[in-house]
Structure 1
Amino acid sequence: MHSFYIDKKGVVGEKATLPKEEAKHALKVLRLGVGDEVGAMDGCGGRFTAVIEAVSGDSVTLNLTGELPDNEAPVAITLYQGLPKADKLDFIVQKITELGAVRLVPVKMERCVDKLDAKDAQKRRERLEKIAHEATKQCKRAAMPEILEAMTWKQALQDMKNCDLVIVPWEEARGTRVKDVYAQHPDAKRIGIVIGPEGGMSEGEIEAMREAGVLPVTLGPRILRAETAAVTSVAMAMTLWGDL
């Protein structure tokens, strides 16, 4: 069953309209019509069964016939990602959306290869939101992750205070694994994960995180690429604290 975003918070028994791009995809690409059953997501945590009730030009009206179970994870994972090259960030956004992360915070770190300027920042964010949108539809999530504007290092440290705990996979970490942190904090509901850019994190950044209570962890004896570390870390956290 094909699924689409609707333009408002859904309520069973009420009608909803597909946004223009969603309607175009339903009509022109999938060739759907009146009477076809579809899935609907409101982006606020609601998932529904629906029937196409009316088509007028490029407008599609649905009747929301039933509510589907919530499939959002019981843990809220925020990824603080040191800015990598654009294509790598695209990949990271797609995969952490599929895994169930709720926020992505791009972070400007000392060793970032990609020096994102204000001129390109909005275009980049819109692109990432589109990727997250498509990935959310593909995996039929109830809600799309929030893609925040790129933060400075100091802003990111401040934002981390909203988490119950924050971990940072680091090649110099010894002994402490993600599952060891879980054993000490099994009830954490808001988890932050910090991943450095291609050039890694500076000693100053690591020290600042330690002073802020961020927990360094190891991902094993092999050095992982930034995008591999990001996806692996989110998957491990979702396995331990979430619903994988």
Structure 2
Amino acid sequence: MTLFLHEIKQNRLSFLIWTFSIALMLLICMMMFPEMNTGMEDMNNMFSNMGSFTQAFGMDRLNFGDVMGFYAIECGNILSIGGGFFAALLGINALAKEEKERTAEFLLTHPVRRRTVIFQKLAAILFELLLMNVFIMAVSAASFAFIGEELAIREFLLLHGAYTVLQLEIACICFGISAFIRRSGVGVGLGLAALLYFLNLFKNISSQAEFLKYITPFAYAEAADIISESAIDMYLLALGLIYAAVAVGAAFLKYTRKDITA
């Protein structure tokens, strides 16, 4: 547990910044809804007739004038992008930083197995992501009550559940990559998260890119699908969990055999 607590303490500043930033942006968006609602019908018609842009963000399947439709489009994008980037940063730095910061020699000379190091670092990442999402969900739910709008609990929980799994998958994939690199991988992590996000946009725009839904986790976290169908595509979600498990398995195999530079 010592390493687990150390990781939590070491990441506390970035955790607080990302968590409160995302929560604040969601809160501000929700505070804007009552003011925007008066002209929402015209805005909804405008957004629904913007061709590829409309399809990319699923606005052709959601009512921008409905509070859950508004929440899914505006707040959903904030949470998916912000949460995905933070998950990537946590994962990509987890193992590589020990060599980058020259702390591997100190860490691995202690009576602790490498498997334990991997497990506790991964547990710290998953704990931080879960805690962040619980806090953001609480703030979001409170914002509905504050503006006097009814919260569709099922859709709300499904939406946040999908985003949580999305973040966990990205974190695990970046965690796996972290075991193979020796230097800072911030660019790699953020680049991967951005790539997966844009792959989902391409999938929404073109029917020929439909196969991309089997690659990007943003496909099963598609707000338009979740809100309109009140369900998550469990096949795609299960596929994402498999990708995450494979990445974690690769991290264990690589790091336990890796010639670590002190």
TM beyond 0.5: no
| Richer in strand (by share) | 1
Which of 1 and 2 has higher RCO (CA within 8 Å, sep 6+)?
2
Greater per-residue helix proportion: 2
Alignment TM-score, normalising by the size of structure 1: 0.28
**TM score, norm. by length of structure 2:** 0.26
